[in-house]
Structure 1
């Protein structure tokens, strides 16, 4: 078995005498391993480094992307939820097949296991990991941003008993804000996706707030802040303004009214 720690500690240099195809195949298996020390440890960091540096080239990235798209239907939650992280790495290098987007959308709107972390499996984070991919897709000029905004709304409105507890709301808000930086969006296209959320809020009766509604409110509150301040494209980077931040804030304030009358 490959000593991934040793590779990581040598600045992710390719080990002598090992074929790259075999190493990539082994990394792909590791990124779906039930052991969080394997799945979310050195193999993850090495795969990211090799994709960013081009060690894993275009054809290999495409093959790896195809495999990750297939994992969205894997029976193992840890395999499904780490697939979008790998695809985020690949999309960041400029690679994308339409079928990857279709597979991701089908999974993201319908995933029911929304646990952030499991005591045995470690980080799962379907909502947050999916949000990372959604944000990466939203920054690509060739991808229509509106279906991505609608997909985020569908994810928020899906019935669930899982209350966001691991900053899933912040990750999804950031992804939405990144999509909303697209210069080809109009004010109307930037806000149309909020209509279904507004209708869902308007239909709520007085009393305890459903879990999905609480998750949605907190996500949209975070989005309001990013619409006001801008969103860094990279961690620690300079904030980028939303294409129509004022229109987004105004529409969010309207949507909040039934559940936050003080707005």
Structure 2
């Protein structure tokens, strides 16, 4: 591993956002496209191993940098497995902390979900179910920093994959409909509010197309656009009848 990387990886753990965000993250993203394949894989292994770290900023920024590596073409099946264990189970969904700065585990995980969703070696259907499980996990945090947009965009990116069947494109919504169907009268729990707002983003992208990070040109179209739009509308109507 080139000599600069160990120090950057150490700084990526820093609780100081000036060190972590403005220095380590920025420099690692600059380096990622030019790394040799073996360096990318070693770096990715280190980052995927951080999903079990006790500090949320370490877990979250590991996901964000790993997303940039995957966008640059790197991939291991073990990274997807580690991500699938961590993302729906992440307990700290705060967007920002006055001391630690941006935490954004939900949003950073969404960026990695989108990166895996564009990688041809990663099966898309399990990623859709993974996104649904993240949304449906119990939480006391209502998204307040556009996490719903980031997750909705990530799901939209996955839904552009050409190999998806119509059943796979809408099947993950059954998990949401089932959970919404168990709702009881009373205040809407945070997870349900987060999920509703995310699905509205997916509906919009089904209509207008999605532009992944770094994409140039016309928006990408969902593989089964009409089916997804109708299925999302049906699920929204379970919990939000005023949506139509």
| Bin for the TM-score computed over the shorter chain | over 0.9
Larger Rg: 1
Q: CA deviation at 1:207?
A: 2.0
Residue of structure 1 aligned with 2:37, choices 55, 58, 62: 58
* Residue 225 (1) aligns with residue 204 (2): yes
For the 8 Å contact 2:209–2:221, the answer to whether it is kept is yes
TM-score normalized with structure 1 length: 0.89
Superposition deviation, residue 98 in structure 1: 1.0
TM-score, L = length of structure 2: 0.96
CA displacement at 1:258 relative to structure 2: 1.9
Aligned counterparts, 1:62-81, within 5 A:
62-81=41-60
Pairwise CA RMSD of aligned residues?
A: 1.2
Structure with the higher helix share, 1 or 2: 2
Match of 2:162 among 170, 175, 183: 183
Aligned twin of 2:29: 48
Alignment partner for residue 225 of structure 2, among 216, 220, 245? Answer: 245
In structure 1, what is the equivalent of residue 183 of structure 2?
Answer: 204
Among 2, 5, 27, which residue is 2:8 paired with? 27
Q: In the alignment, is residue 36 of structure 1 matched against residue 23 of structure 2?
A: no
Q: How many residues align structurally?
A: 242
1:166 counterpart (137, 145, 150): 145
Post-superposition CA distance 1:123-173 (Å, at most 9, x none) = 110100000000010111221111111111110110000000000000000
Q: Which runs of 5+ in 1 are unaligned?
A: 1-19
1:99 aligns with 2:78: yes
